[in-house]
């Protein structure tokens, strides 16, 4: 196997692996953002109900009003105490870093591999450096996110050039619209 063929295979393999990693990060990031939104919405709704009960003098159970008030105060504190915003920011940066490395590796395998070997090797090294930088931070999403990423990728959602092999959302949508 020549150097160019080895580099092309390495870049293609690393690009595919990085697709799984970046997809895992984005799936977990979506869950974290939902968790943060839920905490704030529940806190806001609880506070609003408790305040309206006090202001409008509704006949609500005082324990319920106290519980709603407590939830309105405590839930935002939980978000801060668990450093949810910082965790979201860290996962945003890492997901983007892996996605950037994936794009560079994919271009190296598909486009830059057609350049002269010296130029291709330079581009492949740069893409690998981006991947090394992305890997330098030790963030690990839960295992279930990798399983979800596998299912999403294997469903064909990330194969835009081959719509006939899609088994995911787009194929289901086509089936719903056309019956085929």
Structure tokens at 93: 């940066």
How far, in Å, are 11, 46, 67 from residue 75 at the CA level? 45, 10, 12
Residue-averaged pLDDT of the chain: 83
User: What pLDDT is stored for residue 67 in this prediction?
Assistant: 80
Report the alpha-carbon distance of residue 159 to residue 173 in Å, rounded.
16
pTM over 0.85: no
How far, in Å, are 9, 57, 149 from residue 65 at the CA level? 63, 11, 42
**Could you report the per-residue pLDDT of 20-66, keeping only the tens digit for each?**
999 999 999 999 999 888 888 888 888 777 777 666 666 777 777 77
Local structure of residue 1 (DSSP, 8 states): -
Domains of the chain: which residue ranges? 3-141
Are residues 35 and 84 in contact, defined by beta-carbon separation less than 8 angstroms? yes
């Amino acid at each position: 196997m020549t150097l160019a063929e080895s580099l092309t295979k390495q870049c293609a393999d690393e690009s595919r692996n990085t697709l799984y990693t970046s997809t895992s990060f984005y799936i977990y990031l979506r869950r974290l953002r939902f968790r943060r939104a839920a905490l704030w919405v529940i806190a806001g709704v609880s506070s609003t109900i408790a305040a309206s009960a006090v202001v409008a003098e509704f006949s609500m159970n005082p324990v319920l009003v106290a519980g709603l008030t407590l939830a309105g105060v405590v839930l935002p504190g939980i978000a801060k105490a668990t450093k949810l915003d910082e965790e979201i920011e860290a996962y945003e940066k890492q997901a983007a870093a892996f996605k950037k490395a994936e794009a560079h590796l994919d271009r190296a395998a598909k486009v830059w591999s057609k350049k002269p070997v010296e130029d291709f090797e330079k581009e492949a090294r740069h893409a690998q450096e981006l991947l090394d930088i992305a890997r330098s931070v030790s963030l690990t999403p839960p295992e279930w996110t990798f399983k979800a990423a596998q299912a999403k990728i294997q469903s064909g959602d990330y194969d835009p050039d081959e719509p006939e092999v899609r088994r995911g959302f787009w194929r289901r949508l086509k089936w719903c619209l056309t019956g085929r």
